[in-house]
A and B are shown apart, each in its own frame.
Chain A
Amino acid sequence: MNKLWLCLCGFALIYGMVNHNIESLNQVLMNVGTDTLDFAIPIILTTCFFEGIMEMAKRCGVLNGLQRWLSPILLKVFPDLDSDDEALSYISANVVINMFGLGFAATPSGLKAMEHLQKKNKEKTTASRSMVTFLVLNTAGVTLISANIIAARTAEGSNFPTMYMPLAIVSTACASIAGLLLDRWWNYRRS
């Protein structure tokens, strides 16, 4: 992360300077504080709200139910986890919420899952195999319905706002499967 971040930032600065874009880069540096705040406040507030809802769901046993339902599949995807792992119930919640396209709402359960995966992690600053798998699953984004896209299409006057969905579902499924296969081949072949 360190190297990547430094290289990309440095490259952007140098490239911008070469192209005489210094002024807009200065703007970026001046505005990054407020930009982050504008970006973060809605996320933090929704995170807090859904964290509250999730705690309720957890105490009512909904998360355990989800876990029981999804764990046969998830255990195949995460061979390093046990079936009674708490991380697994958060991963199930995250996957389900993501499927319904509630991106922001999925973040708290994802972060919770990371927390529990970190507890089992032996080297605290290096990502464990399960973490990498979880992130791949998450970034490939198994989304079935996305309210955002449908809303945008409707707003632009589409006659078939939901027509893109079957194709998007196939693409997202391909992305997830490809990611998981590469992850499996890359990270688990030695064991």
Chain B
Amino acid sequence: MLWLILLCIIKGVNGYDAFTDGVKEGIKLSVSIFPGMMAMILMINLLQHAEVFVLLSDFISPLIDFLPSEVLAMCFFRPVSGGASMALMRHILSLYGPDSLYGMMASVIQGSTDTTIYVIALYFSSVGIKKIKNAMWIGLFADLVGISVAIFLTVQFF
């Protein structure tokens, strides 16, 4: 921030005008992303409260039985909602301890990818894209790779 102000003074840029113009743009952007945001939150909340994630992790946990159910649930939440996976991570950290294997695993998973569904919904709705082609699948595939690598690495190196 400070060096930006200094740069404005050095280059003789009208920093005040630039800042306020930017904020104006920001408000326009916000209005255009609000509907998409609401639709996404509705979907995520419905899925969460209908316990669809529980169903999913119950379905998969016999296949991956070396992970505790909290870590597994976090794997599902990570691409869907940053807030929910962050909350789960804190839960895992306090349950197993931050320096334990699972605490470490949760931290790495949290750092390994971003919330795919949120980003896709937000960015595409902001410019009015209806057909998203295969962006969702590629994004989820990248998440799968990231989370698998995260689990593999923590088991290997920790």
Contacts and interface: CB of A to CB of B under 8 A. Distances in A.
Interface in B56-110: 79, 82-83, 86, 89-90, 93-94, 97-99, 103-104, 107-110
Nearest to B134: A186
A25 B50 contact: yes
A9 B89 CA distance: 26
Contact of B22 (A35, A51, A110, A153): A51
B128 A124 contact: yes
A168 interface: yes
B49 A27 contact: yes
Interface residues of B, number: 90
A114 B43 CA distance: 23
Nearest to B142: A179
Contacts of A186: 134, 138
Secondary structure call for the A interface:
helix
B43 A5 contact: yes
B51 A16 contact: yes
A186 B94 CA distance: 42
Nearest to B89: A152
A7 B153 CA distance: 35
B127 to A, nearest CB: 4
A59 B15 CA distance: 8
Interface of B: 1, 4, 7-8, 11, 13-15, 18-23, 25-27, 29-30, 33-34, 37-39, 41-43, 45-47, 49-52, 55, 79, 82-83, 86, 89-90, 93-94, 97-99, 103-104, 107-116, 119-136, 138-139, 141-143, 145-147, 149-150, 153-154, 157-158
